[in-house]
Chains A and B, each alone.
Chain A
Amino acid sequence: MIEVENLTLRFGGLVAVNDLSLVVRPRTIHALIGPNGAGKSTTFNCISRLYRPTSGRIRVLGRDVSGLRPQDLAPLGVARTFQNLELFGGLSVLENVLIGAHVHCGGGLRERLAARPPAVIGHVEHLLERVGLAEFRHAQASALDFGRQKMLELARALAIRPRILLLDEPAAGLRNREIGALDRLLNELVERDGLTVLLVEHVMQLVMAISHRVTVMNFGARIAEGTPAEVRRDPLVVEAYLGQEAAHA
């Protein structure tokens, strides 16, 4: 579903992503982990065309993305969330998700003019139920607490009806109960709805519980890949994380 081949991106002298290769298989949850600054978000931004790679190739759903613009991904069925929340903060919860359904509101003139386009409004309401925001549909997005804002971003991404979902730290800042709900939702999306998820996450409890495969990055490069259990035992990984802990101490 996603094939990254020898991806490199330099910011001036800084090599943010260094010769990274990665294959995400259909209907799996593939986690991308690593210490802060490892290049995970940069990799996401290359896939979603916000950044242009210095070299390397990315194929999504069998298509080379190099000729695509950022707005071409949603129509292909690729949705993403952002590490530092990029909600439409001044708009209502409902309108945020409606805008997520933008590419499905383009049918005829009536559909384009509708404030509540009949083709999508049912799905939008369903998504709000699914992430537990139905009762907040008229609240302003920026007035929600942090956890709900994260769920709103997820609902907005799902309104694209994606086949591929790129999630950048969806559990960061969530409470345990909320992480549990996210865990169930992601499982359901993959098992029942057939989505493919590339997940950047620091909450190891979630990564280890739901990922089929884990790629570990450090200083822009891949240092390990395997099942959650394999990765956990890998000495390079332990060292990367311990090194970070030591640095923090």
Chain B
Amino acid sequence: MPPQQAVAALPARASSNLRLGLLVPAVAAVVALALLPVFTSGYVVYVANVLLVYVVLSLGLNLVIGEAGQFSLSHAAFYGIGIYAAALGNKLLGLPLVGCLLLAGVVAALLGGVIGTIALRMRDIYLALTTFAFGEAMQWLFLNWEPVTGGPNGLRIPPSSLFGVEILNDKQAYPVVLGVALLMLGATVVISRSRLGRAFRAVRESDVAAMAMGIPVRRVKIMAFLLSAFYAGVAGGLFATFSTYIHPESLGFQTTMTVLTMVVVGGLGSTGGALLGAVVFGLISELLRQAPAVQEMTYGLILILFMMFVPRGLAPAVSRWVRGRGHV
């Protein structure tokens, strides 16, 4: 076989092995995750909750940047909108947990759709700057719209309730957070493989060609922003289920950069990468929380090192490794 053909044939053979090889560990991982609160302390469960929120955030950011190739730097704003929407839905409307999560997702998605529509006029650095400015403006709003957000005093989030039971601690919230995160992960896999997912990638690779294939490029771009914001909103809703307090300080560009770093570390454009990046990088940042001075520098360093040496992220390397083992 000429070398080029060998290269072409390789992934085809490996993919079925890969699927089987991944199914068993995946099921085992889900079972282990479900049993986590039985074996571990409240702190570990808290960290798990935080990581799962990061997973949902990363999945959403990867949809718009990784899959659709549209630079969006307002993820933290949509996340914040989700937190406030869920908290206020609970506090003012007395919505149950599922209602709060949906409200969080839908409000964020609507705003995402608006931003997406505005973003149609821009690309690249202009788009990045505009979405950045929107994120800053939203943070300003969170800080100054005191009657609604509590402004600089922050907002106390009352315990949410699921089927009449109040969720008072991390362990009680965990099954909900895990369940929703897995649901979002499943949805991401389905979307990525679907006609819409292909349209996202087509727009990313060449919007002129995408148009020639009959893809409504504008609608697809808006959809990417909208979906991505929905994920961020739901992530915010999840955060609200296990948190008692939210302050706008944590809803700025720093948080967007953290999620962006997760997606880049994992591998832009790969669902598995977003998952992996959120977990690995989320753990690192939790470890570094004790030393906040080092934290930001370390983030920057990790991002630079990955851009230089692993520009495609962890995902391709890991899947090569898994594939390699499948052959032995």
Contacts and interface: CB of A to CB of B under 8 A. Distances in A.
A86 B5 CA distance: 23
B195 A71 contact: no
A106 interface: yes
Interface size class of B (residues with CB under 8 A): 20 to 34
B213 A102 contact: yes
Interface string B7-20: 11111100000000
Contacts of A103: 213-214
A113 B194 contact: yes
A219 interface: no
B202 A74 contact: no
B215 interface: yes
A99 interface: yes
A79 B205 CA distance: 18
A240 to B, nearest CB: 29
Given A71-B217, A98-B198, A99-B199, A135 B211 contact: no
A111 B201 CA distance: 18
Given A70-B212, A100-B213, A138-B8, A88 B206 contact: yes
Given A95-B201, A112-B196, A136-B5, 5 more contacts: A88-B202, A99-B199, A99-B215, A102-B195, A102-B215
Contacts of B211: 50, 69-71
Interface size class of A (residues with CB under 8 A): 35 or more
A114 interface: yes
Contacts of A74: 212-214
B318 interface: no
B194 A114 contact: yes
Contacts of B9: 135, 138
B193 interface: yes
Contacts, number: 105
Contacts of A86: 206, 208-209, 212
Contacts of A90: 201, 204-205, 269
A105 B195 contact: yes
Given A82-B208, A86-B208, A156-B213, A115 B193 contact: yes
A174 interface: no
A117 B12 CA distance: 18
A143 interface: yes
A48 interface: yes
B324 interface: no
A111 B209 CA distance: 22
Interface string A111-141: 1111101000000000000000001111100
Interface in B1-52: 4-5, 7-12
B190 interface: yes
A87 interface: yes
List the 10 closest A-B pairs by CB distance, nearest first: A74-B214, A88-B205, A115-B193, A70-B211, A86-B209, A139-B8, A103-B214, A136-B8, A138-B11, A105-B195
B300 interface: no
Nearest to A115: B193
Contacts of B190: 113
A115 B271 CA distance: 15
B8 to A, nearest CB: 4
A117 B11 CA distance: 20
